[in-house]
Chain A
Amino acid sequence: MKRIEFRRSLSYPYYPGVVFDADSGVCEITGESYMEEAYKFYFPLINWLKEFTENKNEKITLNIKLIYFNTSTTKCLLDMFEILKKYKNKGNEVEINWFYDKEDPDMIDEVKDFEKEAEIDIALKGF
């Protein structure tokens, strides 16, 4: 599977940094995410997760370190959690970590909402 890597840029801070690596099974999304038409950005990431979960039986880890995301992004994140939930329900190991700024306690509410809506465990880790 092709590795996806998208570096954050000061010119386009509304796009997050992304590394999706099939060899290690570790996927990371960092920074801010408030681009227009978020689904266009996240579509390849969602497809990558579908491909991984349909063809592999290895552990997958999703590390999210988003300090801000807009409402369009939330739908894309929920789509990703849905894929991972199905993979987990098939007996595979899934780890989702959400790294949040301890000075932004609103993020805890957001992540707990995600957990409730997606029905999947998300580990909160302050930084």
Chain B
Amino acid sequence: MDPKKNTQMEFFNKNTRNLFYYEGPFYIDLLTIFGNHLKIYTNSFPLAQKKLFKIYVELTQNVSYYSEEYILSKNDNRKIGMGEMQLADHQNQYYITTKNIVKLQDANILSQRCEIINSSSKEYLKELKRELRKSSPGEKYGARIGLVSAKLISRNNIDYSIIENDRKYSLFKITAKIDKNETY
């Protein structure tokens, strides 16, 4: 069974305006184009815009690097992860959501990490980020740092959900919420 069936990114509700939605391979050049649109759509709220762009890059690059559904780049045979992303305007917040296929056991690990991140203080998360940097292999960081950064930057809990409709794979959906009227 294709776990992507019937999982189109939903429009949240009548209070939410969808700014963009994309489904397909997460090429960096394409992410850059969407990133430029994101900056334009949100330029009325400069601090929120900066935070949103940082989180957008982290979440979308996680999909690009780690999605279990991928295509191979014609140039260098590198894996380009596939998934979905959506930017939404919801009253006083922006929502950035990504969704991609992960192995069933990885979905459980990711959920546990999100739980830890959501229940941790800023100081603990900063320490965790430093520890993860040290323990990560030289060439690549795990998705964990991106998730920690999303919480640290947004200062809001990460919403996540697992859609299980296959014995081996799940869809992992993650939403970061950024307050429009951010102050420092």
**Measuring CB to CB, which residues of chain A are less than 8 angstroms from any residue of chain B?**
13-14, 34-37, 39, 68, 70-72, 74-75, 78, 101, 103-106, 109, 113, 116-117
Contacts and interface: CB of A to CB of B under 8 A. Distances in A.
Contacts of A74: 133
Contacts of A70: 57-58, 61
Interface size class of B (residues with CB under 8 A): 20 to 34
A39 B139 contact: yes
A103 B61 contact: no
A104 B61 contact: no
Contacts of B145: 71
Contact of A78 (B78, B133, B146): B133
Contacts of B44: none
A45 to B, nearest CB: 15
A35 B64 CA distance: 12
A13 B33 CA distance: 10
B136 interface: yes
Contacts of A71: 58, 141, 145-146, 149
B153 A106 contact: yes
Contact of B140 (A72, A109, A113): A72
Given A37-B139, A71-B149, A103-B50, A113 B130 contact: yes
Interface in B57-105: 57-58, 61, 64-65, 78
Interface of B: 28, 32, 46-47, 50-51, 53-54, 57-58, 61, 64-65, 78, 126, 129-130, 133, 136, 138-141, 145-146, 149, 152-153, 184
A74 B153 CA distance: 16
Chain A CB within 10 A, most for which of B53, B61, B78, B129 = B61
A36 B61 contact: yes
A11 to B, nearest CB: 8
B57 A13 contact: no
B138 A113 contact: no
A101 B65 CA distance: 29
30 contacts: A14-B28, A34-B57, A35-B28, A36-B64, A36-B65, A36-B78, A39-B138, A68-B53, A70-B58, A71-B58, A71-B145, A71-B146, A72-B140, A74-B133, A75-B138, A78-B133, A103-B46, A103-B47, A103-B50, A104-B50, A105-B47, A106-B54, A106-B153, A106-B184, A109-B126, A109-B152, A113-B126, A113-B129, A113-B130, A116-B130
